[in-house]
Amino acid sequence: MNTLLSRLLKLEADRNNQHCAAAAVDEDGYDLWLRYLPLAQTRLKDVEDCVRAFVFGAENPTLTVARDELERAFFAMLVKCVPVREGGGISDGAVLVGTPDSLPVIADLDLSLPELGKEGYRVRSLIHEGKRVTAIAANTDIGVLYGCFAFLRHIQTGGDPARIDISSAPKVELRLLNHWDNLDGSVERGYAGFSIWDWWTLPDYVNRRYIDYARANASIGINGTVLNNVNAAPEILTEAYLAKAARLADIFRPYGLKVFLSVNFASPSALGETATSDPADPAVQAWWKDKASEVYRWIPDFGGFLVKANSEGQPGPGDYDRSHADGANMLADALAPHGGILIWRAFVYASDAGTDRATEALNEFKPLDGTFRNNVLLQVKNGPIDFQPREPFSPIFGQITKTPLVMEFQITKEYLGQATHLAYLGPVFEEVLKFDTHARGPGSTVSEIVKGKTFPHPVTGIAAVANIGTDRDWTGGTFNQANWYVFGRMAWDPDETAAAIAEDWVKMTFTCEPGFVSTVVEMMMRSPETLVNYMMPFGLHHQVATGHHYGPGPWVSELDRPEWNPTYYNRADKDGIGFNRLADGSNAIAQYSPEVQALFADPHALDERYLLWFHHVSWDFPLSSGKTLWQGLAERYDAGVAETARMIDIWDQQRAHVDGQRFAQIRTFLEIQHREAQWWRDACLAYFSAVAQRPLPEGHKQPAHALAHYREIHHCHAPGNPA
Amino acid sequence: MNTLLSRLLKLEADRNNQHCAAAAVDEDGYDLWLRYLPLAQTRLKDVEDCVRAFVFGAENPTLTVARDELERAFFAMLVKCVPVREGGGISDGAVLVGTPDSLPVIADLDLSLPELGKEGYRVRSLIHEGKRVTAIAANTDIGVLYGCFAFLRHIQTGGDPARIDISSAPKVELRLLNHWDNLDGSVERGYAGFSIWDWWTLPDYVNRRYIDYARANASIGINGTVLNNVNAAPEILTEAYLAKAARLADIFRPYGLKVFLSVNFASPSALGETATSDPADPAVQAWWKDKASEVYRWIPDFGGFLVKANSEGQPGPGDYDRSHADGANMLADALAPHGGILIWRAFVYASDAGTDRATEALNEFKPLDGTFRNNVLLQVKNGPIDFQPREPFSPIFGQITKTPLVMEFQITKEYLGQATHLAYLGPVFEEVLKFDTHARGPGSTVSEIVKGKTFPHPVTGIAAVANIGTDRDWTGGTFNQANWYVFGRMAWDPDETAAAIAEDWVKMTFTCEPGFVSTVVEMMMRSPETLVNYMMPFGLHHQVATGHHYGPGPWVSELDRPEWNPTYYNRADKDGIGFNRLADGSNAIAQYSPEVQALFADPHALDERYLLWFHHVSWDFPLSSGKTLWQGLAERYDAGVAETARMIDIWDQQRAHVDGQRFAQIRTFLEIQHREAQWWRDACLAYFSAVAQRPLPEGHKQPAHALAHYREIHHCHAPGNPA
């Protein structure tokens, strides 16, 4: 049931002066931030005065979904129908929706549309011919749809419709979700159930979820989606699956959402249609050209291919002694005639097991910079390792200058407590985007590079691994919805703040009640640091259990490849701990500009949150606090656990503001997080205490169990880790 | 969104004299048959007069859920709150809910409760002390809950509350769902998404689905559920999973739903806790005794174990040269002290590949009849092969007399078009239950045996493989919900008719509009025969593709075991087709009573729907119609295809009675069914035409493609067939 039902039930109950249990309604989270909560009586009249009629002009699929969204939303918020007029005159309370082409009157208004480009919008309340009207205007239909969602957000977050004047245009061109969804319905690193793509009933059956997925993405400006896992099954390029993908593209098109596909580099030979997949082989080149043409016959506005090659066992041009550029360019040439782009992932490592994994991507791609076709983009994870709760930015940002870079974030919380831990990723994204690479002097932030300002390129992009699944609330927990939301908002404008976006999200997802909003926003903003404290204090990274990455495994050292082992990263022994990435170590620090090197080079001067990322220091290393590292570690772990307990107390005080079902789920998840924070703290301190051959610092409780207990914990069928 | 919302939206729209698109509401099917559609104005007053207050006595968990269900349902149907009183006096319109213990006034009413036993109920409208009251009464709390659902069904299906007088008691004691759900979330033969048991977040998080699942089962009288696949993972008996199962048992308990578990016979050795799983080994016996005690510590009212042993690769006592009785009795002895039962599946075959698979279960178990402990039940599939769209009853019914038999039906449509084909199973269940085995003279129907009348036993049971998954509508299609529903109703009373149950279901699931109800009920009643016509005319069985059993594969002959091959069953060659099960063939017919043998022995006299099940005949065999078998086959296949086209026409005429979302899904599924009926027809006729070396009979269209085309069809990642 949903909030509209709840409001209507209360209306009925009130009419009968009744208040019964049956009128209490829970929310299941399906509506995400598009709940369109009926407005409080105090706001009703102001909004009604400004929204007496919607005026649309020419019809087309995108304007139709815009109209449906406005009708539906205001019916729910006002609990009455707002009439829709096809064109016609100006009147008080008219909401004029369209482009100068679709609704000519738009051209007569003072909206300075040209500067908004092809996706921007202007939503403005103004007096025209003596009437109070609201314009939702843009140069394109999709801009209009984005404007409608901006108008709705303004109302949902308590804005005054009579004072609205919002202009916005995206600062990044490609704003993409990457689904790591497999064709069998499993989702790699998925913690919200299974894949929402029901490949089996496609292309015949259109699940309502496909439409609501497109609505949600359009509401935050996401304009592209890669449907399948980067560990790609060759079958995705067969006719049967292209027909299925084409049906999804048809559904998504009115919402401005383009379909992309991950492809397996060895597809032609894996499908048995060529003898090899060597990019130098003319038959292979011809196969890809034909395949690209076939894809565009199915999906005329197809976005392009995403490729993970020669990484973690995936095939690639290296299998034939060809370079990443040779492979990428072959695919780019096949896509170019159709206007398609080729996104090549920079996530590669262990070409040589001896080198520091953190350095390998740049080592691999630096020599190739400048050799890629101009429709090739390089997709780079935010940090040099792998989506850790905290990483310094990847040195590729700043060092690769001739190839457009697509930022790759991870929304799904593979390393941040998965479904149940509360970790708002806004501050994590923000920390990376605001980092100054100094690549072209001060102000060369990662954000400026992603926006194509520092090194101009014809196309810019930002992507993130989705956390979406079949769970009713889409993301396996209400607070996980905030991470989908903040990614969309930051992809549109990387300079927006995590706090401001969290505030909008909280108001739309729960309530605008000021005390609740400020309390919950603060809890969200603190959440990643809380998690860092109990998982990776002082920059200690990749300390996770094997395979499913669920829970602590700092002792793991027996995996085939050295850089898969937590011990490779913690380097903990009797004398000290941390990964020396200075000149006398792996020298990974040399991949950064001198200004950035200066930030991290001195263990006594750097931001201690990165201490063990760059330095190997003794257990007695003196921290700025005057405490030793060993004392500091124990303090951080304890602080993380204490903060999770505090989150439970904070949440318990919010009961009055949240429906029973969502309140209870969040409460349960916070309890799990607290229990598991304790587990992380106890397991890590037990292990480090053993290798350091020293007891816990004074004043810190012994772990609940002996080290052996934590080493023996195994999990059966952990989610997100398909065989 | 749901029907209540729809009704309230209309109320609002009407108040504003508005009718806008936004007021149109779709249904997603989640509410199943418990939609509690707001009542038409014409019925409102009659119901309100009879339902002015609910009177409850003592509180307990089951009475609490009964009260919540009544409050919630009548709030939705009347769109107003009906007050609840704790005990207190009789008044006009009072609904008295309870047992003589919980609500003493019940004892004063003329309800003859004793004959209703421990699960039955009486719902009666009567005048007491001059007041019109309704009693929802029983000897037990769970009986009261069943009575509440009966009262609600009476209202939902258009009954007059002032005239209600329903007494009902179940005729079968154990009414069980079998979930073939694996611990990794996949569901063997599941076509409605993945498992609804989120093992990972259990026991902490209670998904709302668990509660609604229990509500739905209670509403149709199902009182037990086997949580996991009969191909059982040993891990289900570990502490971690017992804790999860116990949480589910706690949730289900108020709804009268007992938890059972499937166990792997080799669990003790597979879990590394014993050297062997030989039932004669004292250590193994002790392990199971301890394990049973542990299970009952977690779940005090645990139902018992279900075992698939020495069948299709599962371990069993045969691995140690012990009999099924040796294995079953060991487990029964472990459960007995706790009052638990042991259900042993009779689905075994190919102890000797030479014999007819249809005969093997009885051959195996007949000699053991009488040697089982008295808490052992034998679970027998309805037919001798494997859930084919039509099978004669299993000869075990009638031949095994000293051991209580649990009927095993399959609700999930493994062999009946899976999720998308419309096949109402009521007539299939009915055909089997009404079959007269003549085991003790005429009237010894399968139904009488299942009810324990023909051969009395201390306990009776009926089970079915569930079709429930994570799909929003639970069953992967609205009409599949009817099969869950009809199983529950027939398990409660095997003598109810499929048509009467379908009528209740249609009224509750869609609308009571008479024309719609009669049309849709007729379509449902015809549906299995339609499917038989295009899949297995004249009793031609097991003609399915390999593994996923999706689509036709009459040519398949290369599988390891002879009885896995469709050619084993069709025996089609140049001269004829069919499986000779008479004395000069496999003589499977000898397993039936003389009276049943007489029904099937003469190919010229038998019901031709079973012709090729029992007889191998020439292609020119003369049918009762005067046509040859080859002509008859072509006619049946064509008739099946034609009937699927007719279903589309029928459905298109119902648009006005069904919300847009469910109407469209059903329409799409009917199109898929029609396309696939054509596929079955073309593929089978192409193959038989080839082996018979004769063209299609005159007047029948050539298949759309050559045989090779159909043989080459392969499906990637078909659902319900986990690796």
The tens digit of pLDDT for each residue in B564-607 reads 999 999 999 999 999 999 999 999 999 999 999 999 999 999 99
Nearest CA to CA, how far is B159 from chain A (Å)?
23
Tell me: the pLDDT tens digits for A470-489?
999 999 999 999 999 999 99
Residue B167, Ramachandran bin (φ over 0: left; ψ between -120 and 50: alpha; else beta): beta
E strand or H helix that includes residue A362: helix A357-365
Q: DSSP secondary-structure letter at B589?
A: G
Q: A139, A114 in Cβ contact below 8 A?
A: yes
Two tokens at B142? 């769970």
Average pLDDT, chain A: 95
CA angle B274, B280, B286 (to 5 degrees): 50
**Chain A contact for B240, CB < 8 A?**
yes
Interchain CB contact of A708 with B (< 8 Å): no
Which pair of structure tokens corresponds to residue B170?
């179940």
> Tokens in use for A546?
């094997």
Q: Which DSSP category does B298 fall into? A: H
Tell whether B161 lies on the interface with A, counting CB pairs under 8 A: no
Strands B94-98, B121-128: pairing kind:
unpaired
From the list B9, B184, B716, the residue facing A717 with the nearest CB is B184
pTM tops 0.95: yes
3-state DSSP assignment of residue B445: strand
Task: Give the confidence band of B274 by pLDDT, cuts at 50, 70, 90.
Answer: very high
- Residue A55's alpha-carbon distances to A89, A92, A125, A159, A253, in angstroms, are 9, 12, 14, 21, 23
DSSP bridge partners of A439: A441
Q: Tell me, what's the pLDDT at A12?
A: 61
Query: How many angstroms separate the CA atoms of A70 and B177, rounded?
Result: 45
Q: Which amino acid is at A697?
A: P
How many CB atoms lie under 10 A from the CB of residue B698? 7
Q: Kindly give the pairing relationship between strand A174-178 and strand A131-137.
A: unpaired
Q: For the packed helices A41-50 and A61-78, what is the interaxial angle rounded to 10 degrees?
A: 140
The pLDDT tens digits for B43-67 are 999 999 999 999 999 999 999 999 9
Please tell me the distance from the alpha carbon of residue B378 to that of residue A358, in angstroms, as a whole number: 61
C-beta atoms of B194 and A470 within 8 A:
yes
Q: Where are the beta strands (DSSP E) in B291-356?
A: 304-307, 341-345
Rg (chain B; Cα; Å): 26
CA B65 to each of CA A275, A602, B94, B251: distance values in angstroms, whole numbers, following the listed order? 65, 65, 19, 11
From B273, B376, B366, B391, select the one nearest B326 (Cα to Cα): B376
Residue A115 burial (CB count, 10 A): 10
Distance, CA of B512 to CA of B38 (rounded, Å) = 12
pLDDT classification of A355: cutoffs 50, 70, 90: confident
Residue the block writes with tokens 């990847």: A394
Q: Please tell me which residue of chain A has the smallest CA distance to B550.
A: A200
Report the pLDDT averaged over residues A210-230: 98
Which of B378, B405, B408, B399 shows the shortest CA–CA distance to B460?
B405
Distance CA B86, CA B245 (A): 34
Taking alpha carbons only, the member of B352, B422, B359, B425 closest to residue B388 is B425
Tokens of B409: 């039906």
* B8 neighbourhood in chain A, CB within 8 Å: 5, 8-9, 11-12
Nearest chain A residue (CA) to B205 = A668
Cβ pair B551, B713 in contact under 8 A: yes
User: Residues of B with catalytic annotation?
Assistant: 312, 386, 414
Chain B residues within 8 A of A671 when measuring between CB atoms: 204
Task: Name the A residues in 458-477 with CB < 8 Å from any B CB.
Answer: 470, 472
- Searching chain B, which residue's CA lies closest to the CA of residue A669? B205
Q: Tell me which H or E stretch contains A98.
A: strand A94-98
Spell out which residues of chain B touch residue A717, defining contact as CB-CB under 8 Å.
183-185, 199-200
**Mean pLDDT, rounded, of chain B:** 95
Residue with tokens 């809380």: A530
Strands, E assignment, A108-257: 121-128, 131-137, 165-168, 174-178, 224-226
pLDDT above 90: residue B723? no
Q: For A269, which DSSP code?
A: H
Q: How far apart are CA A97 and CA A327, in angstroms?
A: 46
Is residue A714 less than 8 Å (CB to CB) from chain B? no
**Which B residues in the span 647-706 are in contact with A, Cβ-Cβ below 8 Å?**
661, 664-665, 668-669, 671-672
The residue to which tokens 């691999």 are assigned:
A364
pLDDT tens digits, one per residue of A53-100: 999 999 999 999 999 999 999 998 998 889 999 887 789 999 999 999
Classify residue B387 as exposed, middle or buried by CB count within 10 Å of its CB (0-12, 13-18, 19+). buried
CB contact, 8 Å: B605 with chain A?
Answer: no
List the one residue out of B659, B564, B93 whose CA is nearest residue B313: B564
Give the separation between CA A485 and CA A487, rounded to whole angstroms: 5
Clarify whether A386 is annotated catalytic: yes
Nearest CB partner across the interface for A204, out of B18, B22, B671: B671
Q: What is the dihedral of CA B537, B543, B544, B547, to 10 degrees?
A: 150
Confidence of residue A11 (pLDDT cuts 50, 70, 90): low
A31 in active site = no
Is B228 a residue whose pLDDT tops 90? yes
Summarize pLDDT for B95-119 with one digit per residue, the tens.
999 999 999 999 999 999 999 999 9
Residue (of A639, A630, A623, A605) closest to A693 by Cα position = A630
Name the region of B342 (left: φ>0; alpha: ψ -120 to 50; beta: rest): beta
d(CA A54, CA A9): 27
Find the farthest-apart pair of alpha carbons in chain B and give their distance in angstroms, rounded. Answer: 83
pLDDT at B18: 54
